Amino acid sequence: MSEMITINVDGKDRRVKAGQPLIQACLDTGSYVPHFCYHPRMEPVGMCRQCMVEVESPRGTMMVPSCTMNVHDGMVVHTQSDMIKKVQEGMLEFLLINHPLDCPVCDRGGECPLQDQTMACGPGESRFVEEKRHYEKPVPISDLVFLDRERCILCARCVRFSDEISGDPLIEFTFRGANNQIRTFPDEPFASYFSGNTVQICPVGALTAAPYRFRARPWDLQKVASTCTHCTTGCDISVDSSQNQVLRFNGVDNDYTNHGWLSDKCRFGFEFLGSDQRITSPLIKGEDGEFALASWGRALDVVVERLSGIIERDGGGAVAALGGARGTNEDAYALSKFMRVAVGSNHVDAQMDDGLNAQFLAALAGRGRINDLESAKTVLVWGPDLKEENGTLYLRVRRAAQTLGARLIVVHPRRTGLDDRAAFKFGYRPGDGAETLRKLAAGEGDFAAAREVLGEGSVIALVGRTGYTEDPRLAEAVAAFVRDLPGSSVLTLARRSNTYGALDMGLAPTLLPGRVSADDESGRSLLASVWGELPGAVGRDARGILQGVRDGAIKAIVLQGADPFRDVPDGALAAEALANAEFIVALDMFLTDSTSTADVILPAAAFTEKEGSVTNLEGRVQKVNQIVAPPGQARADWSILDDLARRLGKPLGFGSAEVVAKEIATVAPAYAGVDWDAIDTEAGIVVPAGDAAQPLHYVPVAGWSGNPSSADPGGGKTMRLHYARTLYDDGVLMRNGLSLHMLAPGGFAAITSADAARLGVAEGDTVIVNEVELPVRIDDSLSNGVVYVPFNQSGITSLGDSLEVELLVKEAGA
């Protein structure tokens, strides 16, 4: 805990943290100091001079910028003296000399620090009557951000964020004196995954966001606190709406999760909410294969009739469910209870065959916290490229290495966004992960120094699958190795925002709600006392479900926000299964490749259109709040499932999301005592909390020795496939967002320059990977004999999840 000292501010003694910036100490204790360049998450630079205060010293009272001076015990500070007020007036007058008086048309008007401080601290009138300087405006410095140089006050917040926080120094000061201005580099746009943060922290309207420009005024907006549902970090956000339309997401500074930052996918990935492609009424497929609008009553009757017939004929085990990781905990719990109580099936899975062992993710012994990054001496990242798949967690890891002095070790088959801050970077060919781990654990050769660092203690490891051809057992083996290190903790990494919440609600064949193993007899008895009789047959996971449908063992599928056609790495298996299903019912917002095969589609509400809770990767339960009404007749998933169960004669007993949450707190041991109001706070609740205890504590297995392929990196056409996601892809939510759908990189085949020379191809030539034609890119961060292809890109069919692929050169004119 930080040492507390006493300072005197404007005649009053204040207890503050020793060593913190004086401006922050004043702000924390209720003395407002005007400022522009200072930001608590970035290094102080003292550029704007608006935060000047007077500090008494042995040599008399001196005037200093409060952002660059740290507090010390007994300090005496004056923030309201006549001299300080005069200085603040003068600084504002200088800033306004060239600043355009266009507040009525500026997006920042009404929430502009310059506007507010001019009113509060400014001179009231300007002595400057000459012509102001003019620049071309606005300048689109990226697909998402516009620059108005006339408004810029040169605070450098955007420059510092890009350099200090995101590691994308693509925006900088140019020229000098009166011509000093913010610019991007020639022919190099501001192509950062975090560019939207510069818009939010800009204290004037110099940087504006394309999706929000001229959409609303601040006083017209309704706001609600919520949690972002694009990744598993659980970023704290403010959702702004007007006239029943969501118009903007802003990051909220939360010490436990995102520190106020958002990736551009999180920030601008809301536009799908207002898409005209949303399903707003139930749809029933006719004999001609076309969907027709139907009433809720008619659609539910069809679903119940078809499911009842299959259950009576083949038993509840002939029905399976996929999905639940894109909704709330309450939605996931409703699906888990619906399948086990109303249907009588354990065939449920929230993961799309692209994750890790469900018990490993949900109930890992020695699970870490995101804030472990603040104190860890060493950080090991062996999983997906965080910059591509978990943006705000990437920023937290980058901060640990760059600002806090942690030694970063990155293990990945190709270049990642963290490589420039890594003390050690180890690449390897997909399939060789087990051997790489063995060498690291033994400290062999180049791994010796990294092994020594890991052995010094205070280690947090972020562990997941680096790509879809990677064996999921590798992540467990890495976690097992880390758990034996002194002072270690592990955070697992999974895809889809509420995967951890869905698993905690029992959406896995090996789990029951509350982190209870499906074969735990005492846990089953406790749950059965509330739910009634539970099915006894062992359930199938996502791959098993799809294989069962393909082979005819499973007849019907319930899809809850799931698109296996796009999300399952083996897309061909998903396509075969969906084509062979006797009956499919989908709860979704859009017509996707998967829901288009359904017999009935029931329109679902999005997370801004319902209340609920979500659980992030560290087990922190947070609230999502409704701010707009669902479009048309769309409903919350839990409500739809409750209606279906009631018509099947097995009512779930849900009347509201809060009622569902209370039942979860009653029957799910890890969530015992979780209060609906308590999770609607910055900290949320990390479960299990208080006296609650989770029955299952999963210890990862260390014995896996790998299964290397026979692919020869020295020759031949057989290559090892690295198949991984990028931040932007052709997922349905991105596809229905006006601003983001064009940012996906598209399909390509990346190989090393040595492999390109061996195959006789150059950058831009066409190669064929598993019968899919792709342009060549050169990437020497890969190992020889490896081809990297981004997953789920427009127009590119699935390559499957096999480690080895055939790479052929397309003949000219073919």
Which residue matches tokens 């995102």?
A: 258
Q: What is the pTM of this model?
A: 0.96
Calculate the alpha carbon distances from 167 to 252, 322, 387, 552 in Å.
Answer: 21, 38, 10, 51
Distance of alpha carbon 217 from alpha carbon 194, whole angstroms: 24
How many CA atoms lie within 13 Å of 596's alpha carbon, on the beta-carbon side? 7
Average pLDDT estimate for 98-107: 92
% of the chain exceeding 90 in pLDDT: 93
- Ranges assigned E (strand) in 252-394: 283-285, 291-293, 319-323, 348-349, 378-382
The CB density around residue 217, as the number of other CB atoms within 10 Å, is 13
Average pLDDT estimate for 230-253: 96
Contacts of 637 (CB under 8 A, 6+ apart): 327, 328, 331, 334, 335, 560, 561, 587, 604, 605
| pLDDT score, position 188 | 86
Select the more confidently predicted residue: 699 or 693. 699
Task: Give the pLDDT confidence of 657-679 residue by residue, as tens digits.
Answer: 999 999 999 999 999 989 999 99
| pLDDT score, position 243 | 95
Task: Give the pLDDT confidence of 326-381 residue by residue, as tens digits.
Answer: 999 999 999 999 999 999 999 999 999 999 999 999 999 999 999 999 999 999 99
| pLDDT score, position 731 | 94
CB 538 within 8 A of CB 654: no
Distance of alpha carbon 2 from alpha carbon 41, whole angstroms: 18
CATH topology of domain 318-356+521-676: Rossmann fold (3.40.50)
Q: Which band of pLDDT confidence, cut at 50, 70 and 90, is reported for residue 639?
A: very high
Average pLDDT estimate for 455-470: 96
Task: Give the pLDDT confidence of 249-285 residue by residue, as tens digits.
Answer: 999 999 999 999 999 999 999 999 999 999 999 999 9
Q: Which band of pLDDT confidence, cut at 50, 70 and 90, is reported for residue 813?
A: low
CB 204 within 8 A of CB 113: yes
Average pLDDT estimate for 723-727: 96
Task: Give the pLDDT confidence of 497-532 residue by residue, as tens digits.
Answer: 999 999 999 999 999 999 999 999 999 999 999 999
| pLDDT score, position 811 | 76
Range with lowest mean pLDDT among 123-127, 203-207, 416-420, 717-721: 123-127
Question: Is residue 187 over pLDDT 90?
Answer: no
| pLDDT score, position 691 | 79
Average pLDDT estimate for 733-741: 92
The CB density around residue 186, as the number of other CB atoms within 10 Å, is 5
Show the 3-state SS of 477-502. HHHHHHHCCCCEEEEECCCCCCHHHH
Report H helices in 105-224: 113-121, 157-160, 196-201
- The 3-state DSSP class for residue 800 equals coil
Domain locations in the chain as residue ranges: 4-40+52-80, 82-171+199-210, 318-356+521-676, 360-493, 718-809
Distance of alpha carbon 394 from alpha carbon 375, whole angstroms: 16
| pLDDT score, position 715 | 57
Pick the CATH number of 718-809 from 1.10.275.10, 2.40.40.20, 1.10.730.10, 3.40.1050.10: 2.40.40.20
Question: Is residue 713 over pLDDT 60?
Answer: no
Question: Is residue 706 over pLDDT 80?
Answer: no
| pLDDT score, position 689 | 87
Q: What is the mean pLDDT of the chain?
A: 95
Average pLDDT estimate for 91-98: 93
Calculate the alpha carbon distances from 179 to 105, 152, 176, 701 in Å.
Answer: 24, 12, 5, 62
Structure tokens of 110?
A: 């009404």
% of the chain exceeding 70 in pLDDT: 98
**Closest Cα partner for 754 from 790, 776, 783?**
783
Distance of alpha carbon 20 from alpha carbon 287, whole angstroms: 70
Query: Reduced to 3 DSSP states, what percent helix, strand and coil does the chain have, rounded to the nearest 5?
Result: 30, 20, 50
Q: What is the DSSP letter of 115?
A: H
- CATH class, domain 360-493, is alpha beta
Question: Is residue 711 over pLDDT 90?
Answer: no
Dihedrals phi, psi of 636, to nearest 5 degrees: -65, 145
CB 386 within 8 A of CB 418: yes
Average pLDDT estimate for 157-165: 97
Task: Give the pLDDT confidence of 554-601 residue by residue, as tens digits.
Answer: 999 999 999 999 999 999 999 999 999 999 999 999 999 999 999 999
Q: What is the DSSP letter of 340?
A: I
Task: Give the pLDDT confidence of 399-449 residue by residue, as tens digits.
Answer: 999 999 999 999 999 999 999 999 999 999 999 999 999 999 999 999 999
Question: Is residue 804 over pLDDT 80?
Answer: yes
Average pLDDT estimate for 190-207: 97
Average pLDDT estimate for 87-107: 93
Q: What is the DSSP letter of 772?
A: E
CATH topology of domain 4-40+52-80: Ubiquitin-like (UB roll) (3.10.20)
